[in-house]
């Protein structure tokens, strides 16, 4: 160890290397602080590290006089010798562990009442350590006493048992904490799963409502198109009839202006027949009163809305109780009534059922009313 310590002496400060330790190009080691002092002494006109960066410099190794050329970082650009630093740490650790530990002097506590007497016995009656003077002349002269060694072993055993009990209790507590944490994780996971299932059920319900809305809207749209097409066709027929009547009216006015009686009478007969036909609209259909109304497509979602608002989670215990009550009531009624052949009554949980939509799907057909 002495030879190793000599190898760890800095040639500048003659003390053990102080970290950080730098290694020179000649493989000799220096404390970086000592190397910086040598560098500053060899280059007095160069700025220090606390100022601006140096432009380089040089100094000689104190061991072999080899010239060391530095870059602009000065001694801070030299490589650290981590191996030597680790050896120094190991050496210091070994040195400290090899030194004998100072012996601890056992101090015997002194009696508070008799200050010159050491505590050397134990009062079993009051459960406190006392001195001999307390037993002979003091307040504990009538008390039961015992040697400190015997009470020491007893109390030490009790304390050891107590510590073991606390350790076991702590282990149990840690187990309970782990179980509670696991329960929290299970609750969170189960909640996420159940919320996902609830959302899926509601999405399915939404899809059913959307499908039903689309189906009912298509029924209304179908009758709308049917009625509109019929009215437009009837409008074209009336328009054609009106155009024909205007032509006949123009021919009648022209005939009225005919001065020749024979020609007038010759044209009057067919013209009167055309006028009679034009004045009659018996061949044209008439729209029934209220044909344009669509009020027969009535909906009433009060019961469905009530059923939707009553949606809730299934209560298993409640359902079982209701099934038992229903089964008991059915059995009592069956005793005083006739048995239905082949009929088996099953108790089902009361669930709100959606009544069919109050809606007429057949459009009222247009009727043709002959004109008078």
Task: Look up residue 253 and give its two tokens.
Answer: 């006015």
Shared domain check, 78 and 1 = yes
Asked, for residue 29, whether it belongs to a domain, the answer is yes
What is the rounded distance in angstroms from the CA atom of residue 231 to the CA atom of residue 282? 17
Closest to 292 measured CA to CA, from 231, 239, 222? 231
- Asked if residue 287 is part of any domain, the answer here is no
Which of 96, 127, 159 terminates a domain? The answer is 96
Q: Please give the pLDDT value at position 253.
A: 87
- Per the rule left: phi > 0, alpha: psi between -120 and 50, beta: everything else, 14 is left
pLDDT of residue 267: 82
132 and 89 in one domain?
no
* Mean pLDDT per 10-residue segment, the chain (372 residues): 74 79 82 81 61 59 82 78 83 73 64 81 88 78 84 86 90 92 95 95 94 94 93 89 87 85 83 81 78 89 91 75 64 46 36 41 42 34
CATH of the domain at 132: 3.30.160.60
Assigned domain for 15 exists: yes
Tell me, yes or no, whether 355 lies in a domain. no
Same domain, 64 and 135: no
Q: How many domains does the chain have?
A: 2
| Cα distance between residue 56 and residue 43, in whole Å | 10
Full residue range of the structural domain in which residue 127 is found:
111-143
- Residue 67 falls within a domain, yes or no? yes
| 217 within domain boundaries | no
Indicate whether 340 belongs to any domain.
no
In a domain? residue 302:
no
Residue among 167, 34, 17 at smallest CA distance from 82: 17
User: Residue 81 is part of a domain; what is its CATH number?
Assistant: 3.30.40.10
What pLDDT score was predicted for residue 256?
86
Assess whether 85 and 2 both reside in one domain. yes
Q: Are residues 64 and 4 in the same domain?
A: yes
Strands laid side by side in the 145-147 sheet: 128-131, 119-123, 145-147
* 6 and 85 within one domain: yes
Same domain, 13 and 92: yes
């Amino acid at each position: 160890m002495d030879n190793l310590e000599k190898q760890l002496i800095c040639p500048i400060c003659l003390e053990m290397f102080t970290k950080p330790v730098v290694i020179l190009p000649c493989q000799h080691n220096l404390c970086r602080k000592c190397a910086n002092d040598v560098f500053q002494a060899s280059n007095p006109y160069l700025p220090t590290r606390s100022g601006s960066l140096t432009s380089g410099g040089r100094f000689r190794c104190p061991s072999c006089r080899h010239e060391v050329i530095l870059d602009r970082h000065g001694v801070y650009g030299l490589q650290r010798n981590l191996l030597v630093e680790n050896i120094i740490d190991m050496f210091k650790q070994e040195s400290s562990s090899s030194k004998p530990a100072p012996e601890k002097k056992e101090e015997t506590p002194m009696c508070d009442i008799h200050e010159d007497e050491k505590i050397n016995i134990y009062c079993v009656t009051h459960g406190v350590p006392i001195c001999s003077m307390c037993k002979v002349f003091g307040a504990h002269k009538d008390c039961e006493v015992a040697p400190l060694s015997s009470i020491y072993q007893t109390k030490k055993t009790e304390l050891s048992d107590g510590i073991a009990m606390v350790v076991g209790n702590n282990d149990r507590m840690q187990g309970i904490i782990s179980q509670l944490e696991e329960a929290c994780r299970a609750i969170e996971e189960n909640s996420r799963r159940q919320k996902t299932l609830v959302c899926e059920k509601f999405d399915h319900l939404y899809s059913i409502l959307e499908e039903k809305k689309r189906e009912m809207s298509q029924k209304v749209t179908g009758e709308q198109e049917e009625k509109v097409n019929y009215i437009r066709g009837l409008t074209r027929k009336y328009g054609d009839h009106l155009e024909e009547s205007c032509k006949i009216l123009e021919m009648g006015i022209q005939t009225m202006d005919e001065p020749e009686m024979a020609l007038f009478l010759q044209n009057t007969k067919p013209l009167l027949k055309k006028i009679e036909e034009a004045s009659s609209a018996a061949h044209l259909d008439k729209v029934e009163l209220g044909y344009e109304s669509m009020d027969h497509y009535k909906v009433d979602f009060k019961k469905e809305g009530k059923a939707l608002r009553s949606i809730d989670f299934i209560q298993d215990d409640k359902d079982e109780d209701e099934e038992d009550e229903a089964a008991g009531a059915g059995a009592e009624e069956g005793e005083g009534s006739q048995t239905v052949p082949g009929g088996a009554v099953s108790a089902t949980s009361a669930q709100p059922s959606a009544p069919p939509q109050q809606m007429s799907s057949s459009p009222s057909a247009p009727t043709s009313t002959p004109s008078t």
